[in-house]
Amino acid sequence: MPFPNHPTKHDSTPLVTPQRSSEYKTERSDEELEKPPKAVILVYSRSLMKYLVETHDGRAIDHYFGDCYAFADTDHTVGVVGNFGIGAPTTAMLMDDLIADGVEAFLSVGFAGSLDESIAMGDLIVCEEAIRDEGTSHHYAESEKYAFPSDSLTTETKRLLERRDDRFHAGTSWTIDAIYRETEAEVRRYAEEGVLTVEMEASAVFAVADYRGVEAGSMFVISDYLGLSEWEPRFHLTAEDMHHLGETAKEILASYVD
């Protein structure tokens, strides 16, 4: 059976569009709705969202699913969206809504499990390609193994990290919907292929951005290690690393849209 199930899915016209949804929202409002920032950090950690909003002056834009906040020191051209949950489907829906209202670039940041024990806690991961083991991306692009970030945004990300002398690794991530179905066989296979991390959003973020003609990249910090004999969760040790990740993403996007 092909996936998606309908064989001509990608040649068919969608019934509901982000543009129509935006129009409906505007029609139902008694006042003009504020536009989102030009570039947005996608944040899945509630604690990181809280940190960024409390640390930086700005303004809330309150008509999206989750919370949207624009930073004052970027003249409100860069912002952050969070508190909308985790995973590919919700992220894709939110991206579509934001793109319809003018967002041109996304930097997706969050936790990732490491398949490579040589990666140190605190090192940043720049995703150069993502294995499409989630369902959402396949509704935006023909089914293939990988989805790819925007070359220009990924290059800018690595350039800034190198200029700051940050420790980082660049490579492949495995994106999967089902966190409790990451099996030993899959971990072994992907580790042998040199895959660095596993997470839940990157491949969908890349597929949506490519389909809609906008820019997208992704970065992670390591939250746990997926060895074949033992799982080592270290989420409790990552607070400062996550703050550094969020600040780095803000700096990258501010430079990118400048």
Look up the CATH number of the domain holding residue 148: 3.40.50.1580
Tell me whether residue 144 is in a domain.
yes
The DSSP symbol for 13 reads: P
Confidence class of residue 30 from pLDDT cuts 50, 70 and 90?
A: confident
Tell me whether residue 180 is in a domain.
yes
- Summarize pLDDT for 202-246 with one digit per residue, the tens: 999 999 999 999 999 999 999 889 876 677 888 887 889 999 999
Domain that holds residue 152: 34-257
Domain count, the chain: 1
| Cα(134)–Cα(212) distance, integer angstroms | 19
Tell me whether residue 93 is in a domain.
yes
Tell me whether residue 21 is in a domain.
no
Tell me whether residue 239 is in a domain.
yes
- Summarize pLDDT for 70-128 with one digit per residue, the tens: 999 999 999 999 999 999 999 999 999 999 999 999 999 999 999 998 998 889 999 99
Contact predicate 235/224, CB 8 Å: yes
Tell me whether residue 27 is in a domain.
no
Tell me whether residue 15 is in a domain.
no
What's the pTM value of the predicted model, to 2 decimals? 0.96
Tell me whether residue 17 is in a domain.
no
> Counting Cβ atoms within 10 Å, is residue 25 exposed (0-12), middle (13-18) or buried (19+)?
middle
Across 128-135, average pLDDT: 98
